[in-house]
Structure 1
Amino acid sequence: MSIKDARAAGLASLAALVADETRAACLLALLDGRAWTAGELARHAGVAASTLSEHLGKLVAGGLLTQERQGRHRYVRLADARVAQLVEDLAAGVPAAAVRHAPRTLRESSTEAAMARGRTCYDHLAGRLGIAVTDALTERGLLRQDTGFALTDAGLEWFGTAGISLDLSSRRPLARACLDWTERRAHLAGAAGAALCRHALEAGWCVRIGSRRAVKVTPSGERTLSSLLGIPPSALR
């Protein structure tokens, strides 16, 4: 088999892994960056545990998930940030008309609104919150978007001043654009995006709400982000 054919076969295999609604639902759920039990994912996907187990086996074998066992429980998570980027990029490529629907319940409506307002995208901030932070960094000359995402010298200094530690020795890109599937614009990902999100949660600027990826900016976070980046509190609610 030629190199070209081998790549084509690999791409077809990868596409086949994602081209199943149950497996796709699991991958999207795992974008919260946390480990889920097989039982939790089965309930989320609305399938029997035995059916879900077969799907998880394929995703693990395909390198999209990693797993570990603790006692009776089997925990799975996305293999790495590369997989998270793939899933988020594919989700962002779905036409808006294909996913637009009227919420069936008040709870579903509230969940969708919360996710659009602010959420984690694997390990960085997304939704209107992620876009607001990205725009503020750009407007202040801390982040460049004209030639791809890149922190400026002022941006590196800002992270240090804000007390956000950056691992400059990591092989992971420091700043990367990630297409937001609700806003249809790019937000900050990469090592800097992950560090900012982690610090925001640890410092109490944001808190997780509900059982999914939604996050909410706290009053303390509103004051801090307004002071550090000039973001109006109204833009964070």
Structure 2
Amino acid sequence: MLTALMSGKALTVSELAGEAGVTIQTASSHLSKLDEGGLLRPRKQGRHKYFSLASDEVAHVLEGLMGLAAGSGYLRKRTGPRDAELRQARVCYNHLAGDMGTQMFDSLIAQGHLVLDGKELILTDSGAAFASEFEIDVEGLCKARAPVCRVE
């Protein structure tokens, strides 16, 4: 259910139960525990209750855990969202995701706009110039609380 919420979209109990392949009662019980643990942000809208991840930090922790699990050979059977278009390209919280996000990252590395130095990702001068062509405020991004890019 947490993986389904990684899209940044709020989902109902029944939608999350369907994603997890469990009954609504089981999903409700699990969601209650996840909410008590501070991982979710529930909100009522009319007669429906929607759940989303509590914060970007929760999403980052989940990404880290999924990477750790994948590195240990524990892979999900389904490789991403059900919708093929979402597997192709999407925004997940504040970053690009999906196949196109990965291709864009690889292209920026190949063109020398980004350099990977161990676990540190460095925006080169050519990368800053490239970003400015798209009117991206690189200085503003660097001053933001969240990192511009994470390498895990």
The TM-score bracket by the shorter chain reads 0.7 to 0.9
Contact kept? 1:88, 1:121, Cα under 8 Å: no
**Residue in structure 1 matched with residue 101 of structure 2 by the alignment:** 130
Q: Provide the C-alpha distance between the structure 1 equivalents of 2:84 and 2:45, rounded to a whole number of angstroms.
A: 35
Would the alpha carbon gap of residues 112 and 121 (structure 1) be closer, same or farther in structure 2, given more than 3 Å must change? same
**Could you report, residue by residue, the CA deviation over 1:178-215 in whole angstroms, capped at 9, with x for unpaired residues?**
4xxxxxxxxxxxxxxxxxxxxxxxxxxxxxxxxxxxxx
Amino-acid identity (%):
39
Q: Give the superposition deviation at 1:112.
A: 8.3
Q: Give the superposition deviation at 1:85.
A: 1.6
Q: Provide the C-alpha distance between the structure 2 equivalents of 1:170 and 1:95, rounded to a whole number of angstroms.
A: 30
2:148 counterpart letter in structure 1: L
Specify the SS of the correspondent of 2:60.
helix
2:48 counterpart letter in structure 1: H
Q: Give the superposition deviation at 1:160.
A: 2.4
Q: Give the superposition deviation at 1:158.
A: 2.1
Specify the SS of the correspondent of 1:30.
helix
1:40 counterpart letter in structure 2: E
2:144 counterpart letter in structure 1: S
Specify the SS of the correspondent of 2:148.
coil
- Give 1 or 2 for the bigger CA radius of gyration: 1
Match among 130, 143, 151 for residue 123 of structure 2: 151
**Could you report, residue by residue, the CA deviation over 1:8-51 in whole angstroms, capped at 9, with x for unpaired residues?**
xxxxxxxxxxxxxxxxxx11101111111222112222223232
| 1:171 is aligned to 2:142 | no
Specify the SS of the correspondent of 1:74.
strand
Greater helix share, structure number:
1
- Structure 2 gap segments, 5+ residues each: none
Would the alpha carbon gap of residues 162 and 124 (structure 1) be closer, same or farther in structure 2, given more than 3 Å must change? same
Contact kept? 1:149, 1:177, Cα under 8 Å: yes
Matched pairs, number: 146
Q: How does 1:1-237 map to 2 (within 5 A)?
A: 26-95=1-70, 98-99=74-75, 111=82, 117-147=88-118, 148-165=120-137, 167-168=140-141, 169-178=143-152
Q: Provide the C-alpha distance between the structure 2 equivalents of 1:94 and 1:36, rounded to a whole number of angstroms.
A: 25
TM-score by length of 2: 0.76
Specify the SS of the correspondent of 1:93.
helix
Would the alpha carbon gap of residues 153 and 67 (structure 1) be closer, same or farther in structure 2, given more than 3 Å must change? farther
Would the alpha carbon gap of residues 74 and 165 (structure 1) be closer, same or farther in structure 2, given more than 3 Å must change? farther
Specify the SS of the correspondent of 2:34.
helix
Q: Give the superposition deviation at 1:118.
A: 4.3
- Structure 1 gap segments, 5+ residues each: 1-25, 179-237
Specify the SS of the correspondent of 2:69.
coil
2:95 counterpart letter in structure 1: H
**Could you report, residue by residue, the CA deviation over 1:124-163 in whole angstroms, capped at 9, with x for unpaired residues?**
2334322221121122222121141132333233222113
Q: Give the superposition deviation at 1:172.
A: 0.5
